[in-house]
Amino acid sequence: MPILKINHILKESELSEFTTFFPDYIKLVVDIDQNILYGGSEFHADIEKILLNQGSAQASLWGGGVNTKTKKIDCLAIINIRPGENPDPNILDSKTRDKFLKIVKSCFPDYTYG
């Protein structure tokens, strides 16, 4: 299954393109400085690699996902662990988290954080 850029509000019929690995969950990675969102991978690191190859800065990339059944957004990914900056899989800095959520909500407006 390809990793796809998400740049519009997804319709229910499009969700299956992103849920091959997890039936009710889409892993996402966001470049918070360039407002770029990709999803659909088994691992956040696979999406991260694509964005790095396209010129994104490591410091700008943050991971999370959406549960398509509960319509919840999370900010949880191993790629978020950064010694001395973010020692947890969750995005701890509220400004960084807010940027991540704003970009995700632009394509998943009916979804809520938490």
Compute the Cα dihedral for 99, 102, 103, 105 and give only its sign: positive
Q: How far apart are CA 67 and CA 61, in angstroms?
A: 20
- Whether the CB-CB separation of 80 and 88 falls below 8 Å is answered with yes
Is pLDDT of 76 > 70? Answer: yes
* Domain housing 105: 4-113
CA distance 1 to 104: 21
Domain count, the chain: 1
1 pLDDT exceeds 90?
A: no
Decide: 28 and 104 in contact? Cβ < 8 Å.
yes
The whole-model pTM stands at 0.95
% the chain with pLDDT above 90: 88
**What would the pLDDT profile of 89-111 be if each residue is shown by its tens digit?**
999 999 999 999 999 999 999 99
pLDDT digits (tens, 9 = 90+) for 54-73: 999 999 999 999 999 999 99
Residue 39 CB contacts under 8 Å (≥ 6 apart), including other chains: 3, 4, 6, 18, 26, 27, 28, 29, 47, 65
